[in-house]
Amino acid sequence: MKSTVEEIRQRFDADVERFSNLETGQSATVDAPLAMALVAETAATVTPHARDLIDVGCGAGNYSLKVLQHLPNLNVTLIDLSRNMLDRAVDRVRSATTGSVTPVQGDVREIALTPQSADLIVASAVLHHLRTDDEWRAVFRQFFEALRPGGSVWIFDLIEHTLPEVQRIQWRMYGEYLSRFKDDAYRDLVYAYVEREDTPKPLMFQLDLLREVGFGRVEVLHKHSCFAAFGGVK
């Protein structure tokens, strides 16, 4: 049995500090600083006219802060399951923009995004909590509908691999990264909560789904081990 939404919320409520370092990003993900930099610069370059940003699964606000370094004074909507994460994100993001900052607490599967209300959407290490194919399809479709023409979405997340042999290799590489970062006990801790909480999808599944819901141009920015940064333009 996978963790409930409430169980996931409680874990993130107690883990705010780990998501509050703009230099390192989320340390349990591979190449977190590189992914943040790539997503932020790509978002700004591909959608330079942006006025409104939606940060889905915002955590403590790192991705919004990185985007604001390139596109200052955006209006930012912060969405997260955890109230503690949202409070930290609001404090940090408000100091980085003269635009409005709107916090929304809730599950992305249940939040109705206003059609054509945003120019940019970023989603980091959050979509792997989606369960069924229908949930994935509904969320991606809502991203597409929430963007104005020319808007773009950029995702960094845990992924799985279609071939079991490849998955074993990549999962081993991820474990080696975690052990080097701290130790084997930390590796086992991360492995345990991924097993309880997460249901990632292959990168190709997600790229195909972006095209299916309407994104005409889709790009991969980076892939290393079980993590990838990618997105699409409306």
User: Domain tally for the chain?
Assistant: 1
Q: Which residues contact 132 (CB under 8 A, 6 or more apart)?
A: none
| Pairing of the two strands 52-56 and 75-80 | parallel
Q: What are phi and psi of 147, to 5 degrees?
A: -85, 145
Residue span of the structural domain in which 161 resides: 5-233
Under 8 Å between Cβ of 122 and 55: yes
Q: Which residues contact 134 (CB under 8 A, 6 or more apart)?
A: none
Query: From first to last of its 234 residues, what are the pLDDT tens digits of the chain?
Result: 888 989 888 888 888 888 888 888 888 999 999 999 999 999 999 999 999 999 999 999 999 999 999 999 999 999 999 999 999 999 999 999 999 999 999 999 999 999 999 999 999 999 999 999 999 999 999 999 999 999 999 999 999 999 999 999 999 999 999 999 999 999 999 999 999 999 999 999 999 999 999 999 999 999 999 999 999 999
| pTM for the full predicted model | 0.95
CATH code: domain of residue 133: 3.40.50.150
Q: Which residues contact 184 (CB under 8 A, 6 or more apart)?
A: none
Category of 45 on φ-ψ map: left (φ > 0), alpha (ψ -120 to 50) or beta: alpha
